[in-house]
Amino acid sequence: MKIRMAVSALAVLATASLAGAETWKNVSLVDTMCVSKVKADPDKHPTACALKCSESGYGVLTGDGTFLKLDAAGNKKAWAALKSTKKTDSLRATVNGDRDGETIKVQTISLD
């Protein structure tokens, strides 16, 4: 009985830790249409372009060059953050959410 309870408790803890959101800090927020053009230097990608290309969706370029797309809710949050920023380029962000393959299910996003 005690062993069963211990195994159950460990399973619950393992599931809880897997379900926790990840955080990506200081990543470049880029629209999907322009990612291949700006991958070498995403800080030069202008905010105006990111807003203009919003139909393609958004994602983040990590420090190792990996591009992770944002889910539909994340795209809306990214667009709102871009629309309200006074930054003209260097679109660095902090994103919280759950990674599902090459997509982030975004909980929060903020421009740094």
Q: What is the pLDDT of residues 38-79, one digit of tens each?
A: 999 999 999 999 999 999 999 999 999 999 999 999 999 999
Q: What is the pTM of this model?
A: 0.81
Number of residues that this document lists for the chain: 112
**Residue 9: CB partners within 8 Å, gap ≥ 6?**
none
Provide the pLDDT for residue 42: 97
Q: Give the residue extent of every domain in the chain.
A: 21-111
